[in-house]
Amino acid sequence: MMQSRFFRILIVVVAAFLLLFGTGHGLMRQLAAAPGEREQTTFFYIAPGSSVSVVAMEAHKLRLVREPWHFKLITRWKGLDRALYAGEYQIAPHASLEDVLGQIKEQQTYKRRVIIPEGASVAEVEGILATSFGLDMAAYRAPEEGSLLPETYFYERGDTANEIVKRMQSALDLALDEYWAARAPHLPVRDRHETLVLASIVEKETGLADERPLVAAVFTNRLKKGMRLQSDPTVIYGISSGQPLGRSLTRTDLRNDTPYNTYRRNGLPPTPIANPGIAAVAAVLNPASVPYLYFVADGSGGHVFAETLSEHNRNVARWREIEKTRP
């Protein structure tokens, strides 16, 4: 009789436990799967070394969960309290807590991007990096001029600007190796450094893809003949060190003897004047086979090229007439 009563009590206790367990399990599943309140896309950042409590408070602040303890409870229930990987996560509108934790578990971090335009100087690149959200500029070290490959680079919040710079430098090294190996014979540039110097000048002289081989040919021909390059962008760099000049060049500027004034100095300037794109590098290493020695703006965004000085002077006169008609 006593044994029978004991078993009945045991059955009731076990049944109550299973009911409570099932109810609790169901409630947690419901809590995890409930749609979030946030109606807009949210960027949820977990800083390295953050505790579950800190992350839960941040999730609550962003309205990803109604209460911080919801986040802590479901995180521990799913065994993810030790798998809250640092990084930034793009959370869709009304994402459930289960969805959020799934992204974190799979380390589906959000990739931001920074665009470095062709012809940007290292000073301008620093400004771009400094205004790129989430990039760490602490201990930033400015690279050498011309050592970066302009491109679109992806990064994660918390990455350092120095890491991006290293990637830009590696990308340039790889590309330069490829084009240097396929260079044309008898070029006036003796090494990779001189290639980048001349490519940076070509880059700053024209933004038109079909003109780069022609501009490269002009400078190649002038170097072979011992003529000065007479490039305005080099003069500007000698004055502004890579920042925009903000005004037109004057005759005084052209007479100012800096190491970058190719009106007064023979050969190439000592360093690149910008970070050239790979198309400018390719043009310098395989310039067009043309006899041109001069070029000047044509008034439509491009240039007109000439082989002789007399022809060039006529082109310059036409350009000056066009300038007079401009407001």
For 152, left (φ over 0), alpha (ψ -120 to 50), or beta?
beta
Per-residue model confidence (pLDDT) at position 11: 44
Per-residue model confidence (pLDDT) at position 196: 98
Per-residue model confidence (pLDDT) at position 321: 83
Q: Are 203 and 280 in contact (CB under 8 A)?
A: yes
Q: Are 127 and 256 in contact (CB under 8 A)?
A: no
Q: Could you tell me the pLDDT band of residue 29, with boundaries at 50, 70 and 90?
A: confident
pLDDT (tens digit, 9 = 90+) per residue, 267-285?
Answer: 999 999 999 999 999 999 9
Question: Looking at residues 230-239, what average pLDDT do you find?
Answer: 97
The tokens of 270 are what? 């000592």
Q: Which residues contact 149 (CB under 8 A, 6 or more apart)?
A: 116, 168, 169, 171, 172, 175, 275, 277, 278
Least confident of 12-16, 38-42, 72-76, 127-131: 12-16
Q: In this structure, how many other beta carbons lie within 10 angstroms of the beta carbon of residue 231?
A: 24
Question: Looking at residues 158-167, what average pLDDT do you find?
Answer: 97
The closest alpha carbon to 283, from 204, 192, 179, belongs to 179
Per-residue model confidence (pLDDT) at position 19: 39
On the question of pLDDT at 264 being above 50, the answer is yes
Q: Could you tell me the pLDDT band of residue 18, with boundaries at 50, 70 and 90?
A: very low
